Structure 1
Amino acid sequence: MKKALFILTMMMLFLISCGSKSTDGAGAAAAENTAKDESLKVGVVYSTGGLGDNSYNDATKRGLEKAKAELGITYDEYEPKDPNTEAENKLREYAESGDYALIVATGFTMKDALVNVATEFPEQKFVIIDETIEGMPNVASLTFKEHEGSFLAGALAAMMTKSNVVGYVGGAEAPVIQKFEIGFEQGAKYVKPDIKFLPVYIGGTNAFNDPASAKVKAGALIDQGADVIYHASGASGSGVFQAAKDKGIYAIGVDSNQDALVKGTILTSMIKKVDTAVFNSVKEVADGKFEGKVYQYGLKEDGLGITDCEFTKEIIGQENLDKLDEIKGKIVAGEIVVSPTR
């Protein structure tokens, strides 16, 4: 009898032990699933031109991918054809869901759409790139001193021109795109005060995704003597590069490192570190430090710069590269002050 009771007791303890392990395992799995479900989620609406622009849309995605790898976030993305109604509808859809810790609007063309949606959802956190929205505590504005980075591009263009004529192709004639133009001109004239500067804009409803028009515009500048052309036109820039290649002149890229797109033709690219700014914003949300304010990234903040000229170092020459480093240092130190306006 005692033996039977002992065996029964041991069996009960065994079953309890197994049940406990099973429960613990299920609890761990449930906790893991909960952690996954509660991971910070971001929604992004890209600018017209979409992904594959080798410019600011791709840079935005790189920032989100970095946040995904380092912070464990997830994100949903959308590429609108219309920066107004379509973009606004998607921003509102994201906000209405309540699923997103942060919603990103890529590009100044979405300012009105974002203001409308952010006003409707004051508890939802938003970020807009390349535009300033003040007085809204739920909106962070990521802005850049494009004129400072473009100053370096202009200085290099002046060093490399043989015709003493340089050109600029912008997308839409908007304040942020004009800052590229104004900085570029200042940089070129810093090196060569008598240099001739020719600016042109693509315009139209698809200014940042119209390579054909950009090629025509760049061709017209080349016909007027420009032998170095800088662009700030998103995906339209591929047309500028094609014109430069066809005519045997130099081009300068923008936003992302575009040097490898046409090796030897593209002297350098003015890097605008949208990826860094986007990552920083996501991290602030993750750390509970989000602030609805205007952030400015310039050369001093390492938010801008030019590439290392991987494919053109020998063409440019070390002396010119050293001069560019010197000019950059003077801007950072405040010895050269680049104006964002004329």
Structure 2
Amino acid sequence: MRRVSKIAAAGIATAALALSATACGSTSSQKDSGTSSSSSAGGKGVKIGVAYDVGGRGDHSFNDSAARGIDKAKAEFGGDVKELTAKTTDTEADREQRLTDLAGAGFNPVIGIGYAYANSMKKVAVKYPNVTFGIVDSVVEGPKNIDNIVFTEEQGSYLAGVAAALKTKTNHVGFIGGVDVPLIKKFEAGFNQGVKDTKPDVKVDNQYLSHGSDTSGFASPDKGKQAAQGMLDNGADVIYTAAGSSGTGAIEAVSGKKGAWAIGVDSDQYQQASLSKYKNAILTSVVKNVDIGVYDLIKSIKDGKPLVGTNSYPLAKGGVSLATSGGFIDDLKSQLDAAQKKIVDGTIKVKTTP
């Protein structure tokens, strides 16, 4: 089993694409599972099959981060790309069919963007042992042809908590999660710990937009806006949202209150053209470099040495980071650097559950 290497170098290379990649693709969160976009480079290169989570390309967050890695690989290696996007109404059968359609059409790798594909990928991977599958944010036990791409979201979120605690004027901050699943609980746990370790007297509000199997919390900007507005009305002046495209609604709400700050997630949301009118309210973003993991997998297929097993991208290797666009956290650099050093050397153990 080959392990991840040279992640930091890949992170530098992919960062250059961040400004351009999100300008492409659909912004619909309700695309039918049969809808796709394809591109070709003379039939050569790698045939990349992608199954996005709800929101798909254009979510300004998690899916767009993955798309940057796909775009980078496509530009370097050529080939074909087929992209399918989940709906909030998806069943397990829908997800299984989506992966089967990609594998059956000869795409390799087939990448599931999001933990929701875990059970269906376990079934489909067994049926296509000669195809390498990749899944982001989950570990699928059993099949040997899966690359489990995971990140230490709690570590990046801890740094966001430090920044929030140091920037709040009201001693009151908030966290909004898309769905109350273990993955998003990692964001909540890290953020809360970062706040409390920095300033124990700061109040933290925590709220989720949907629950259980209802994934609408990842694709409902109206819900994000409403939740953020409620927190602002209750006195919070820094709000961190980990909720896919729902976060755009939260950022909009925060931008309407003078002196309040939003913290973005997954992509550097300050840099996104579609959010430019709100950018002066975006304190920072917890960047989750999904593009690095996705690119590494595609490159491994191109090199004939497929990545499989569990490959983790932590803070120490550039898997997560805190964006500095806008310069709004420049005055916190010494404190943030100190916190990051302690996380990396193990002095601070960041919790993964609240």
Structure 1 counterpart of 2:104, one-letter code: E
Contact 1:252 1:269 in 2 (8 A): yes
Q: Percent identity?
A: 39
Given the alignment of the two structures, is residue 96 of structure 1 paired with residue 107 of structure 2, yes or no? no
Counterparts of 2:316 and 2:142, CA distance in 1 = 26
Q: Distance in 2 between matches of 1:78 and 1:37?
A: 20
Bigger radius of gyration: 1
In the TM superposition, what whole-angstrom CA distance separates every residue of 1:215-265 from its partner, at most 9, and x where no partner exists? 111112122221100010000001101111122311100000101422220
Offset at residue 317 of structure 1 (A): 4.9
Aligned with 1:132 (options 136, 139, 147): 139
Q: How many aligned residue pairs are there?
A: 303
Note the C-alpha offset of 1:77: 0.8
Of 238, 243, 260, which residue of structure 2 is paired with 1:228?
Answer: 238
Which residue of 2 is the match for residue 325 of structure 1? 337
Structure 2 gap segments, 5+ residues each: 1-40
The answer (yes or no) to whether the contact 2:44–2:79 under 8 Å persists in 1 is no
User: Could you say what secondary structure the match of 2:304 adopts?
Assistant: coil
The match for 2:288 among 268, 272, 294 is 272
In the other structure, the counterpart of 2:247 is: 237
Higher relative contact order (CA 8 A, sep 6+): 2
2:299 is matched with: 283
In structure 2, how many angstroms separate the alpha carbons of the residues matched to 1:104 and 1:163?
43
2:317 maps to 1:301? yes
2:73 pairs with 1:67: yes
The structure in which a higher percent of residues are helix is 1
CA contact (8 A) 1:42 1:103 kept: yes
Q: Distance in 1 between matches of 2:215 and 2:151?
A: 24
- TM-score where L is the length of structure 2: 0.82
How far did 1:121 drift? 2.0
Aligned to 1:58: 64
Which 5+ residue runs of structure 1 have no aligned equivalent?
A: 1-34
Task: Tell me if structure 2 keeps the 8 A contact 1:83–1:109.
Answer: no
Q: Name the residue aligned to 2:184.
A: 177
Shift of 1:330: 1.8
Q: Map of 1:17-96 to 2, 5 A cutoff?
A: 36-81=42-87, 82-84=89-91, 85-96=93-104
- The 1-side partners of 2:230 and 2:148 are apart by 36
Q: What letter matches 1:326 in structure 2?
A: A
Query: Which portions of structure 1, spanning 4 or more consecutive aligned residues, are displaced by more than 6 angstroms?
Result: none
Name the TM-score, length of structure 1 as normaliser. Answer: 0.85
**Structure 1 SS opposite 2:284:** strand
Deviation at 1:288, TM superposition (A): 2.1
Partners of 1:89 and 1:222 in 2: CA distance: 42
Q: 1:267 to 1:277 in 2, by over 3 A?
A: same
Which residue pairs with 2:217 in the alignment? 207
Rounded Cα–Cα distance in structure 1 between residues aligned with 2:131 and 2:49: 11
Please give the root-mean-square deviation of Cα atoms over the aligned residues, in Å: 1.6
Q: Which residue of 2 aligns with 1:311?
A: 326
Contact 2:240/2:264 (8 A) holds in 1: yes
Aligned to 1:14: none
Say whether the 8 Å CA contact 1:173–1:201 is kept in structure 2. Answer: yes
Which of residues 138, 142, 147 in structure 1 aligns to 2:154? 147
